[in-house]
Each structure stands twice: as structure tokens, then as C-alpha cells.
């Protein structure tokens, strides 16, 4: 007579307990988060709903959408962020894929290193470099003028700021997408070709679905990066360009007006836009995994 084999028992995972030392070690980080993230955010939320007299009011928040000047700043910021993020994502994806293709060569390794350096090149140094190259007395501008050609680019306007945004978005996109592209296994492409698929078919039906979470996450990061960018636009236009970060700065540190509550309302809108993009990303990522 055969007896049934006893069911294999799996150990019940126990919840890991942390000692007092772990909490003490986390205190500096918690202090930094409280002082430089939670406390400023609380100040923004409280003052956004406060009038100049200190009373609760929705006047400042409503002014963001009813005042043409502030509403224009929000729309220009969104437009700049959207265009620079889309262009940066497309060019960055192509660049990351190209770097992955030549990753084993010295030239490819050098380009990866250069891209890592360029991803940190933004702000005032980037604005200064753009003015040297494309400014009214820039190298390229004077070169075109020597041949009687007027360069159709004003770096001190919307087009110049857009180019500067795209410039610092592309290296960041490459830096974020390169590890994701490295996760593509070579045998996937080989199997697709053996089954009669073209490179386009492999790319659309295999590579893109696998990379979709990374592409979406990179776009969200690029969008938030552009939405909060301040130094480059300020340096190019001397603060005379109407976007949300510059408006916030002028309201709390301007020479003519000092309206911290209005600045808090604009900052709350800016933070809300970033949080909304993050929530959309999490929702789409969850739907994709399901």
C-alpha cells in the first residue's frame, strides 16, 4: 500500500525587525527631508490659501487661472516642458540605442562618458555657452553674417529657451534609457528574425513593449525637469520671460513687487502639475503590468 507523500511545508516569512540603531542612522535623512522638503511644502500649501491680511482665501489660486499674465506663464511652461520632453525623449532614445550598439568599442565607451558629463551641464553655464555660440555676437552668428546670412534664431526669446531646454534634456534621456536598453536580450532579436520578423517588427512588437515603462518614466522625469527649470531661462532673458519658476522668483525676490502668498499659489500649481504627472505615470505603469 502506497502512502501519500507529506505536503512540503514552507517556512513562514517573518517580518524583519530593526533595532534602535537603524532608526538613529535614518534620523539625518529624515531631518533633511523634513527641513528641505516637507517644511517648505507645508509653507507653500498654507500660504497659497492665505490673503495678504492673513485670512483664508482662494483669491491667489483663482488668480492663477483668471489673471492672463499668470495663466500665460503656466501655459508657456507646459508648452516648453511638453515639446522639450518629447524631442528629448525621441532623440535620447535614438542616441541611447546607438550607444548600446557600439558599447564595446572605445569610441562608444568615450561617448557614454561624455554623455554622463553633459547630463550635468545646465543652468547658467549652459546659458553662457549658448550665448557664446548663438548670441548676437556669437561665433556661429558672426560666421553666418560673414557670408551675408542672418541666423534665424534669437536665443533670448522662446526659441532660444526651447533649444536650451532640449539640449539638457537629451543627455538626461540617454542616461536614463541606456540601462533599460541594455536589458534587451540579444536572443530576443535573433528569435524574432528566425521566425521571419523584420527589424521593424522586432522593434515595434518586442523592444518597444519591453521598454514602455522606461520610456514613460523617462518622459515624466524630463517633463518635471523642464517644468521646474529656472537658471537657464533666467540667465538667457535676465528674468524677462514669462514662465512659472521666473514668476515665482519675481514675486518673492523681486525689486518691484513682493507677494509671497501669490508666489505660494503659483508654486502649489507647479507642484500639483508634477504630482499629477507622477500619478498618471504610476497608473499607466500599473495598467501595463496587469
Alpha helix (H) residue ranges in the chain: 20-33, 39-48, 59-66, 68-101, 106-118, 124-134, 139-146, 158-182, 186-194, 199-202, 208-227, 231-237, 244-253, 260-289
Four-residue CA torsion sign, 208, 212, 216, 221: negative
Neighbours of 96 (CB within 10 A): 26
Beta-carbon contacts of 201 under 8 Å, excluding residues fewer than 6 positions away, are: 192
**Rounded to whole angstroms, how far apart are CA atoms 116 and 96?**
12
Partners of residue 56 on adjacent β-strands: 50
**Rounded to whole angstroms, how far apart are CA atoms 131 and 156?**
9
**Helix/strand/coil for 105:** coil
Beta-carbon contacts of 1 under 8 Å, excluding residues fewer than 6 positions away, are: none
Q: Where are the domains of the chain?
A: 32-289
Half-sphere exposure of 232 (CA within 13 A, CB side): 28
- Which pLDDT tens digits describe the chain residue by residue (290 residues)? 445 555 555 555 566 666 677 788 889 999 999 999 999 999 999 999 998 888 889 999 999 999 999 999 999 999 999 999 999 999 999 999 999 889 889 998 899 888 888 888 888 888 888 999 888 888 988 898 888 888 888 888 898 899 999 999 999 999 999 999 988 888 888 888 888 888 888 888 888 888 988 899 899 999 999 998 999 999 998 888 999 999 999 898 866 678 899 999 999 999 999 888 888 888 877 777 76
- Report the CATH fold assignment for 32-289: MetI-like fold (1.10.3720)
**Rounded to whole angstroms, how far apart are CA atoms 218 and 173?**
6
Amino acid at each position: 500500500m502506497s502512502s501519500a507523500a507529506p505536503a512540503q511545508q514552507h517556512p513562514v516569512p517573518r517580518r524583519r525587525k530593526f533595532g534602535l540603531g537603524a532608526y538613529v542612522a535614518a534620523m539625518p535623512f529624515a531631518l533633511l527631508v523634513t527641513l528641505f522638503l516637507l517644511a517648505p511644502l507645508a509653507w507653500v500649501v498654507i500660504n497659497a490659501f492665505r490673503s495678504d491680511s492673513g485670512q483664508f482665501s482662494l483669491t491667489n489660486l483663482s488668480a492663477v487661472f483668471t489673471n492672463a499674465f499668470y495663466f500665460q506663464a503656466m501655459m508657456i511652461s507646459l508648452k516648453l516642458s511638453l515639446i522639450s520632453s518629447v524631442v528629448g525623449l525621441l532623440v535620447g532614445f535614438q542616441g541611447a540605442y546607438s550607444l548600446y550598439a557600439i558599447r564595446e568599442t572605445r569610441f562608444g565607451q568615450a561617448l557614454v562618458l561624455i554623455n554622463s558629463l553633459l547630463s550635468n551641464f545646465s543652468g547658467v553655464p549652459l546659458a553662457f555657452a549658448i550665448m557664446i555660440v548663438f548670441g548676437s555676437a556669437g561665433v556661429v552668428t558672426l560666421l553666418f553674417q560673414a557670408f551675408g546670412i542672418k541666423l534665424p534664431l534669437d536665443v533670448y526669446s522662446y526659441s532660444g529657451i526651447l533649444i536650451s531646454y532640449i539640449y539638457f534634456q537629451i543627455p538626461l534621456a540617454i542616461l536614463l534609457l541606456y540601462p533599460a536598453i541594455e536589458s534587451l536580450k540579444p536572443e530576443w532579436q535573433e528569435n524574432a528574425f528566425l521566425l521571419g520578423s523584420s527589424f521593424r517588427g522586432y522593434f515595434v512588437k518586442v523592444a518597444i513593449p519591453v521598454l514602455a515603462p522606461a520610456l514613460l518614466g523617462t518622459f515624466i522625469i524630463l517633463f518635471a525637469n523642464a517644468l521646474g527649470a529656472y537658471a537657464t531661462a533666467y540667465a538667457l532673458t535676465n528674468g524677462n520671460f514669462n514662465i512659472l519658476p521666473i514668476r515665482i522668483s519675481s514675486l518673492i525676490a523681486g525689486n518691484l513687487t513682493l507677494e509671497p502668498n501669490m508666489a505660494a499659489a503659483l508654486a502649489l500649481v507647479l507642484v500639483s502639475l508634477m504630482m499629477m504627472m507622477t500619478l498618471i505615470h504610476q497608473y499607466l505603469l500599473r495598467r501595463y503590468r496587469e
